[in-house]
Amino acid sequence: MTPATALVQRQLDAYNRRDLEKFVDCYADDCVIAVLNGPVSETGRKALRARYARTFAEYPDNRATVLARIHFGDIVIDHEDVTRGPGQGRFQVLAIYTIKSGKIARVDFAK
């Protein structure tokens, strides 16, 4: 496992445990969350923390499973299957992570 894939796996594990602090710790202070080829939804750890605090509170059984992972340099792409919980919905997403200085600097989501 490379440092980039280990970082992405660490944040996914924290996401699945709904461990907000360990999840946010994987991200750069000035991280960007965006829709692929679309708008930016969050910038910075404070906005990231707020978004995922809401997500974890609203979906306490939320879980993402990696269906496939591609690693190329400082880019990690996960094809994820996300389950919100019993009766709460399910969807698949591509999460494209850009790693800089040992932290996730950007994530672009494609649904």
Report the pLDDT value the prediction gives residue 89, as an integer from 0 to 100.
84
3-state secondary structure of 103: strand
Look at the chain and report how many structural domains it folds into: 1
CATH at residue 20: 3.10.450.50
Query: Which domain, by its residues, includes 60?
Result: 3-110
Distance of alpha carbon 71 from alpha carbon 78, whole angstroms: 9
Query: Is the separation of the CB atoms in 97 and 77 below 8 Å?
Result: yes
Looking at residue 11, its pLDDT comes to 98
Closest CA to 39 of 108, 94, 97, 104: 108
Q: Are 83 and 62 in contact (CB under 8 A)?
A: yes
pLDDT at res. 76: 98
Which regions in the chain score pLDDT beneath 70?
A: none
Q: Model-level pTM?
A: 0.93
